[in-house]
Every structure is written in structure tokens, then in C-alpha cells.
Structure 1
Amino acid sequence: MRILFLVQGEGRGHLTQAISLGQILRSAGHKVVGAMVGTSPGRNIPSFFQEQIFAPVHHFEAPNIIYKVQGGGMNVGRTIATHLAHLPKYLKSLHRIHETVKQINPDLIVSFYDTYGGLYNMIYRSGIPMICIAHQYLLLHPKFIFPEKSRVNQFLINLNSKSTSWLSANRLALSFREMPSAPKLKITVVPPLLRKEVTRLTPQQGSFILVYMTHHSLSTQVIEWHQKHKDVQLHCFWDNAGASEEVVFDSTLTFHQINSEKYLRMLATCRALVTTAGFESVCEAMYLGKPVMMVPVPNHFEQECNAIDGVISGAGVMSKSFDLSVIFDYLPKHIDQSEKFRNWYHRGHQLFVREIAEFEKSIDIRRKMQSEI
């Protein structure tokens, strides 16, 4: 089958998931004919995506989260206001997506939680089936455990997840652990998507703490803790476009621009990972047997849900800030979940190929019926 990807470009997770699924699909004889990726001001699509997707990449302007300047987390009001002001621009992006789909004419579209996915299905009705993949679809599962007193936030995030997958054929919900699917809600629970590069690494017990943050403004919290604990070696990855490739703050704190190969090498040799609670980063650490301290970005309900789910799955501990003392208190209590996680992960190849095969059958039937008319 000829498959076109539609990928949310914010953060690293959806990009690496697309790379991983591309590897699985090609090994099963399918062809990824292109990847449409949303971009926004101040955020560059990491070079590793262009290098490893092995398909033409088409960019379009997309909404993004706006953060407070001094590491205060997501600025909800400004994010909403900016999106409304740029609505005409986003409608043009939707049309651009449609033109790209018409030009490529794929058999199937796979959307990685892209904002435009459901809107595209609703407005343009292209007739091309769409599968939606993301950890966020697990939050639609009736057995998902949410933070206490969060009904409004639950409604809003699930409304967003539904809107990204309107009229989709199925939702593949990536999960830290095995759970029953919910077919009536079009939810199939599947293992995480990790790049082959992760599975080829040999974990070693290092002495330094690795830090990954989704926005460089959060670095102020790391520096504040570091000033009081200069004996602890820290290596931090950020997306600070205005900084050089490597910023040596002092002898025990170094900031690195996001670099896939370098990050994974350090993840395999660190003592523990401290990260904003992105699903992909936690999965990589679990596969390599690294304890994780998950710090949800303030006002980012999705990450708060990820962190709670990660704790339930045995990934590590949750913290409200980059107070690294929390991970040091937790380390003696950590129970390695890597074997259990790997067993779940390695079932993924078969499950994803099977899901795509089901659509291939239905597409072949539809083509046969059309040829007989």
C-alpha cells in the first residue's frame, strides 16, 4: 500500500513514532510516499526526521503551544488568542494538506495526532481512509486513570482527541502497558513505537543525570537546582534555537541542542532521566531500564496524565518541578520494568502490520467493486 503520514510537529514524540512506523511498514512491503508535518514560528523540525523518514517531507503552518517566558509553563490564554488570530493562515494550511493529498493520492493516511486530521476528514471528505495514532487516544479509554478533580480538563483534552480523529477508521492508542482494547469506541490499544536505534543500544550504568525538556524556558529550574548541587553531573537537552550546539554552563552542567544520536547515546549510559512528561521519552527510558522523573509542563494536562500513567506502569516518579532531589530520593526504591516493557513492545510489529493489513483488504475490495461498476 501507498501510505501518507500526517504528523504533528510539536515535540519529538510524534516525529519519532512516524519514523518507527515507517520502518515497520517498509519491512512489511508497504511504501511511505510522503510525510506532511506541521511547523510553527520558533520551532524547527529536527534534522533527524528529514534524515530518517525516507520519504518526501511537506511542511505546513500549524498551531503550537505558547509558553511563559521564565519557565512558568504553558500560557493558555495567549495560546488560544494566537490560534484565533491566525485562523485564516491555518485554513490555508488545511487547503495545502488537501492539495498534497490529491497530488500524492495515497491508499491510506496515517495521522500522528495532527490538529488538522479530523478537520480534513470533515471538510474535504476525500474518501481516503485514515488511521490515527497517539498515546492521547488512550485517554478516551474507559479504564484510563485521570488526576483527581479534573473533569473539565478531561472533557477538553478528549474533545481535542476526538476532533483530531473525526471520521477516522480507527484510533491506535499507544500505551506503556497492555490493556484491553475498546472496539466500540474505535480504540485499539497497542505498544509504543520506538525507533530501531533505541532497541540496538546496550544500557550501561552511568553516574550522570540526563535531562530533557520540551522548551528551553524550563532550564531556569534546572539551573536553580544545580547551583545548590554542583557535585552532580548534569547533561541537558533543549530546543534553544538561539544557543550554540553545546553550551557549557560550568564543569558539571552542559546544555545540548536536540540531537537524536547524541541523546540516545547518553540515555543508554546515564543513571536516570529527568524529563517533561512526554510519552516517547519515558518509553525509551523504560526500554533501557532507566528510572525516570517525570515533570509535567505547568498547565499541560496531557503531560500530567502521562506522568500518572507512567508511575502506574512503573516508569518512575512524578514531580511538579525540576527539583532533582526527588529522583535521588526515589532511586533506591525503583524496580526495573525493562523486561516486562520489552515483551509488550516486541508484540507491536505484528499488531501494527495486522492493523494495516485489515485496511489493505478493505481497500482491495473497494477497488474491485469500483472496477465492476
Structure 2
Amino acid sequence: MKILYGVQGTGNGHITRARVMAKSFEKFGISVDWIFSGRSKDDYFDMQCFGDFQCFRGLTFAVENGKINIFKTAKQLNFSQLFRDAKNLAINHYDLIVSDFEPVSAWAARRAKKTSIGISHQSAFQYKIPKRGNNWFTQQVMNWFAPVDQAIGLHWHHFGQPILPPVIDVDAHTFLPEVDPKHILVYFPFQSLSNLVALVKPFDQHHFYIYHDVAEPIDQGHIHIRPFSRENFQSDLAKTRGVICGAGFELPSESVHLGKHLLIQPVGGQMEQLSNSLALQQLGLATVCQAFDHQILNQWLTNIAQQGHQNQRIQFPNTANALAQWIAEGAEPEQLNNLVDQLWHQAAPKLAVALS
């Protein structure tokens, strides 16, 4: 089987999920060509597993200091380029088109009347899940940004819906190092580095590892600034006590899987992140704030010191392998409900459910 897999490349979460899927596709003998959109090709890193991937402009949002900049977003959107790229993308020789909320591959499949499936967190928003900031316009964006024939949603809980658990590299987290109680990981690239440094500077009893857009590592006492690196980031995530980040999906998923304490700030004006924050609060998996400040950080650090090294942990199953096997066996829609049921029964007992 040969498939085309499109990945939304604006943030690193979709790419992290794609890396996990790439390993599973190889395991089940599926040949994959990859395309990415949302940023310049030079801005991607650690992409060796995707081979000679294609890169497109696609569609993306402009975020500054933790909030969507509507003016800049509108200015950079180029729908004519999107549809030219979709029209020119050769897809007839593929057996299946898969899109992780990636518009070029999705619209190319729709134009050519090729079967397409979506595997993404965004697909979960087609169902009745916790939502905040949702309205008619945001729902239309979710439905038409990257439209597919069959949308497969991923989330931290099923919420009584046919949604799958997150795609996590469970094999990479089999043997974990001892947690460093003073180690805190910070990943919020939508905020300026100077603001993040100012946030953590007073708390010199902890060591903060901030991943941001820098060329080389920078150490300033208890503050350690690191360039983007998948390998180094995973190493710090494994041993950290707590994670300070935005309300995306992939990093909180890995953090929950590892039992890390979470302090979350949603990107302002983004329905998905506002809804993720609500879900994390309802599930008791994170502390959520509307803006990081010294008082909130101090309270969070105090609380996690009292709670111990490890937070509530939900050990998610190998969703990537299950999806790859399902695709290799023909991606039959009627088998999806069985897949949902099986995977949630492999998760923590409190999340298990039988879906009819």
C-alpha cells in the first residue's frame, strides 16, 4: 500500500505525531510520501525520518505573545496559492490520502475524488466534547480547513464518543529516568523569550529548561535556554517534574502519559486551545491560567511540591500501531468502533468504556 500523508507544520505537535506514525507505517510495510505545510522548509528540524518530503505554504495563524494576531493572520492567508498547490499535487497513484489537519493534501483529494481520512485532534471537534469559544465560524473552520471523507479524532478521553486516544511514542517511554524534583520544562514558543525568562527568574530554587528559537544553548544560572531539538527535548521531558506550556495537544498528551505536573496557558483567541484547557480542567490533569505570572507560578510550584514527584498518570495505548494496522488491512470504516473500544480498554481502567 502507498499513501500520501499531509501534516500541518505550523506547530511541532503535528510533526511529533507524524514521527510516531512513520515508525508504525514502516512496521506494517506501508509506503508513505510526506508533505508539510504552514512554514518555510528551512524552519523544520529533525526531519530525517520523512525522507524527501514536499513542503507547501498552506494556511496558518499568526501568533504573537500568546495571542492570535487577527490582522497578520488575514494578511498572510493565500487561498489562491492553496488551491493552485492542491490542483497541481499529483495524487492519482496513491491508494489513500491521509491528512493531519493539513489543507493541501485534503483539498487535493477532494478535487480528485480520492478517498481521504483525517487523523488529528481537530477531528474530535466534530463530536460532543468539552468546548469553549466555539461558534458557527470556528466550527466551519474546523470542518473546512482540511476536509476529509472520514475524520478520526484523537483526545485525552473518549467523552462517550467514537474518539481514539492520543498518538504517543509509547516505546520511547518504557524505561524512564528518575525524576529531578527541581527540573521544570518550559515550552511556549508563542511567547517572547524575554517574557519567559522574566517569568521564571525569581524562582532560583528550581532549574528551568526553556526551549525556544535560539541558535545555541544559553545558561544563565538556574535558567537554561535550549534550541529546538526533538532528542534533547524528549530527554528533558522524561526527567522533568513539571511542564509549563500552551494548551496544544501533543505535549500535554505526552506529559499526561508520563505523569508530569502541567501548568497550561491557552493561546488567546484560539478555540482549540481554550477547549483543550477546559477538557484538562474537567479531567483534573492540569492547572490552567489565562496568563502566566509570578503569583500563579509560585502557587503551582508550591502545590506540586506538596503533591509529590509524579502527577496522575494515564498510560495511553499504542494508537499509532493500531491505526497503521487498520490502514494496512484496508481502512474499513465499520472496523473503527471496534478499534475505539479496544484502545480505550487498554488505557487506565477509569477511562475504559464499551461503545455501541
Under a length normalisation based on structure 1, what TM-score does the superposition of the two structures give?
Answer: 0.79
| CA distance, structure 2, for counterparts of residue 25 and residue 74 of structure 1 | 35
Which residue pairs with 2:286 in the alignment? 316
In terms of fraction of residues, the more helix-rich structure is 1
Which residue pairs with 1:211 in the alignment? 186
2:138 to 152, 157, 160: 157
Which residue pairs with 2:7 in the alignment? 7
Change (3 A) 1:51 1:174: same
What SS does structure 2 have at the residue aligned with 1:345? Answer: coil
1:293 to 263, 278, 290: 263
Change (3 A) 1:226 1:44: same
| CA distance, structure 2, for counterparts of residue 357 and residue 224 of structure 1 | 52
- Give matches, 1:206-245, under 5 Å: 206=180, 207-215=182-190, 217-238=191-212, 240=213, 243-245=214-216
Which residue pairs with 2:130 in the alignment? 145
Which residue pairs with 1:67 in the alignment? 63
Which residue pairs with 1:366 in the alignment? none
Instruction: Determine whether 1:269 maps to 2:239.
Output: yes
Post-superposition offset of 1:201: 4.3
Instruction: Determine whether 1:357 maps to 2:326.
Output: no
Change (3 A) 1:2 1:205: same
What SS does structure 2 have at the residue aligned with 1:189? Answer: coil
Does the CA-based 8 Å contact 1:76-1:299 persist in structure 2? no
Post-superposition offset of 1:246: 1.1
Which residue pairs with 2:86 in the alignment? 94
| CA distance, structure 1, for counterparts of residue 23 and residue 138 of structure 2 | 30
Change (3 A) 1:337 1:230: closer
What whole-Å deviation, never above 9, does each CA across 1:308-364 have from its counterpart, x for those lacking one?
2123333221122233224214423588332xx21x4246633552355243799xx
Post-superposition offset of 1:13: 1.1
- Give matches, 1:54-133, under 5 Å: 55-68=51-64, 71-83=65-77, 86-96=78-88, 98-99=89-90, 101-102=91-92, 105-122=93-110, 124=111, 126-133=112-119
2:76 maps to amino acid: T
Instruction: Determine whether 1:280 maps to 2:253.
Output: no
What whole-Å deviation, never above 9, does each CA across 1:111-145 have from its counterpart, x for those lacking one?
000133443344x2x23211101111212212x11
What whole-Å deviation, never above 9, does each CA across 1:260-301 have from its counterpart, x for those lacking one?
110010111111011111100001111111111111122222
Does the CA-based 8 Å contact 1:277-1:295 persist in structure 2? yes
Percent identity, aligned pairs only, is: 18
Change (3 A) 1:296 1:35: same
Change (3 A) 1:314 1:28: farther
Does the CA-based 8 Å contact 1:8-1:114 persist in structure 2? yes
What SS does structure 2 have at the residue aligned with 1:359? Answer: coil
Change (3 A) 1:318 1:130: same
Give the unaligned 5+ runs of structure 1: 182-187, 363-373
Post-superposition offset of 1:18: 1.4
Give the unaligned 5+ runs of structure 2: 335-356
What whole-Å deviation, never above 9, does each CA across 1:61-81 have from its counterpart, x for those lacking one?
12222123xx25220122013
Count of residue correspondences: 328
Change (3 A) 1:45 1:10: same
1:345 maps to amino acid: P
Change (3 A) 1:350 1:260: same
Which residue pairs with 1:170 in the alignment? 150
Which residue pairs with 2:163 in the alignment? 189
304-313 or 222-231: bigger deviation: 222-231
Q: Tell me the C-alpha RMSD between the 2 structures.
A: 2.6
Post-superposition offset of 1:203: 4.3
Does the CA-based 8 Å contact 1:190-1:348 persist in structure 2? no
Under a length normalisation based on structure 2, what TM-score does the superposition of the two structures give?
Answer: 0.83
Post-superposition offset of 1:221: 3.0
